[in-house]
Amino acid sequence: MKIFRYLVVGGIAAVIDIGLFSFFSKGLNLPWFPVAIGTFSLATIVNYYLSISHVFKSGIRFNKHYEIALVFIISGIALICNQIILYLLIEKFLIDMTISKILATGMVFFVNYFGRKHIVFTNTKGLT
């Protein structure tokens, strides 16, 4: 089932995102807000390439450039959600940054998956 393969792909991207986020924000004491944007963006790139290799069929519904643009639009929406969740957890509820990042990543997982599955990669013939 696609969602399980996407869980693995998403898990790899999440490890990259959370690991680098913790390293830069806690280890190097850099501000969490821009760090979260950078690590999320890098994880999105990794996720896209792993997704088209192991989960979704690329280029079926849209040409490659449009497909990538849609992935980044969906990821941009997920990034906004991620940043809002991080802000609330870190700044308002004073939860540890790494724990907050893990929670935020889990919450936006489904936004990314369903957006990619239903908007970017699924076509009307169900080939993905």
30: Cα separation from own chain's centroid: 21
- For the chain, the domain total comes to 1
Whether 126 maps to a domain, the answer reads: no
Kindly report, residue by residue over 44-71, the tens digit of the pLDDT: 999 999 999 998 888 888 999 999 999 9
- Residue 30: is its pLDDT beyond 50? yes
* Residue 127 domain flag: no
pLDDT per residue over 69-108, tens digit each?
A: 999 999 999 999 999 999 999 999 999 999 999 999 999 9
E strands, the chain, in order:
none
Instruction: Classify residue 85: in a domain, yes or no.
Output: yes
DSSP letter (8 states) at residue 41:
H
In a domain, 31, yes or no: yes
Written as six digits, the tokens of 99 are: 């724990």
Evaluate whether residue 108 is within a structural domain.
Answer: yes
